[in-house]
Amino acid sequence: MSRPKLWKLNPLKFTKMSPARQAKIEASPAKPLPSLDSYKPNQIANALHPKAQYLKVVKIKDEAGGAKSYYLAPNQEKGTEALAWFSAGQYVSVTLKIGDMTLTRPYSLASSPRESLENIYMITVENVEGGLASQFILNNWKVGTEITTSAPLGNFTYEPLRDAKTVVVLVGGSSITPIRSLALAVADGDEDADLIILYGSRTLEETIFFQDLLNLEEKCERIKVVNIFSEEEREGYEHGFITAELIKKYAPDDEYSLFICGPQVMREFVDKEIETLGLRKKFIRHEVFGEYFGPSKEADYPENVAPSFKVTVRIAGKEQVITASSDISLLRSMEANGISAPARCRSGECGWCHSKLVSGEIYTPKIIDYRREADLIYGYIHPCSSFPLSDLIIEVPPFAE
């Protein structure tokens, strides 16, 4: 017997309750329902996916290249009793109040998932010259600073059903943070994978977690670290960039997954190199670390685009007209004009900034275009991965932590 097609059912029929069910409801005692929070499944869901986490900085450690690691614990006075569990490779979105502006930045969790059960997260902030958020954190966060983050988010995680048993990681600079977490999870026995980490940095002195990774390699035979220095030659280390030849030198002969995690310029270089390796698509994973810059270099970017456009932003019952550069994401342009817009990943993936494009035309680079079919039909965009191609009117949901 064929099953009825759902779209042919009349949903109004469901509203006509059967008499037996109606009688049962009427006969039940008129007691108020217990609070939804008293149900175990809801308690577990809230613990795993809290709307916000209120945390405190409990320790700060200096890292190579002027970076700093911040150890975060629950701020129980603000209502966070315990940290949410995460999978190695995930990030938290940190809310920052800088002057009159409220914005968010994603930071990968560099600690092991197991440490979250001891109520410790660690994030590492790179010393980016002129970086609005990073400089604010490096100059202002102290032991005791109270912060708000999202629950752990992101899909750059090891999945044994999809990924090969051996993972070759191609990573550059401060993007090592999620990989440190993954290596810790492997060493703890919480992830069942072999890791070969090809880690590019300029010099040994600037290599974040150099000693941590060396210790992990010594402790766990499933982890191998290959340091590649682009600006110095050292005996026992690779020199130059992560090329296809270098990958072939260290990758196993049989199946492996590639996890690529680094700044845009490194990703673009590495993506060309790996074309020659003939890997199946499902074995190539990217973490789009940080925001995307310079859409005009993409092959499908239109010609003769004006340098800037007028963008009318409707948000929280107000309307503001800003000038937005065609080379900068709409999210960044809004923030530069003092508009606090919702965001999490800042690279097109999470959908948190999902907004209505009322009129005008935008460009989204393929690598960060995660819009659904319905978004394209009904005119929704992700401002963090959208670049204006004309004057626009957009409706943006209000900022939410």
Question: 393 vs 400, which CB is nearer to ligand FES?
Answer: 400
Three-state DSSP at 106 gives: strand
Q: What burial class does residue 211 get, using C-beta atoms within 10 Å of its C-beta: 0-12 exposed, 13-18 middle, 19+ buried?
A: exposed
Binding string to ligand FES for residues 288 to 327, with x set by CB under 6 A, is what? ----------------------------------------
The Cα–Cα gap between 188 and 183 comes to: 9
- Listed in sequence order, the residues at least 6 apart from 390 whose beta carbon sits closer than 8 Å to its beta carbon are 309, 360, 361
Q: Tokens 């912060």 sit at which residue?
A: 147
Q: In this complex, which beta carbon is closest to ligand FES, that of residue 69 or of residue 134?
A: 134
Tell me which stretch binds ligand FES (CB under 6 A): 48-56, 159-167, 175-183, 341-349.
341-349
Nearest CB to ligand FES, comparing residues 131 and 351: 351
Select from 195, 330, 384, 396 the one that contacts ligand FES (CB under 6 A): 384
Site for ligand FES in 361-380 (CB under 6 A): none
Choice from 353, 357, 381, 392 touching ligand FES (CB under 6 A):
353
3-class secondary structure, 375: helix
352/387 with CB nearer ligand FES: 352
Residue 181 beta carbon to ligand FES: minimum distance, rounded to whole angstroms: 20
Single out the segment in contact with ligand FES by CB under 6 A; choices: 164-172, 200-208, 226-234, 342-350.
Answer: 342-350
Question: Does residue 397 interact with ligand FES by CB under 6 A?
Answer: no
Using CB under 6 A, which of 109, 183, 196, 343 touches ligand FES?
Answer: 343
SS3 246: helix
Size of the chain in residues: 401
Distance separating alpha carbons of residues 387 and 50, to the nearest angstrom: 32
User: 216 vs 396, which CB is nearer to ligand FES?
Assistant: 396
| Strands (DSSP E) found in 50-100 | 53-62, 68-74, 91-98
Give 222 or 332: the residue with its C-beta nearer to ligand FES: 332
What distances in angstroms separate CA 216 from CA 229, 334, 399, one per listed residue? 20, 42, 40
Q: Which range in 114-122, 167-175, 306-314, 339-347 contacts ligand FES by CB under 6 A? A: 339-347
Give the Cα separation of 87 and 310 in Å (integer). 41
Q: Which residue has the tokens 């309307």?
A: 319
Among 66, 131, 351, 397, which residue sits at the site for ligand FES (rule: CB under 6 A)? 351
CB of 57 to ligand FES, least distance (A): 24
Calpha distance 115→134 (Å, rounded): 24
Which residue is it, tokens 């999202």? 150
> Interface residues with ligand FES (CB under 6 A)?
343-346, 348-353, 382, 384
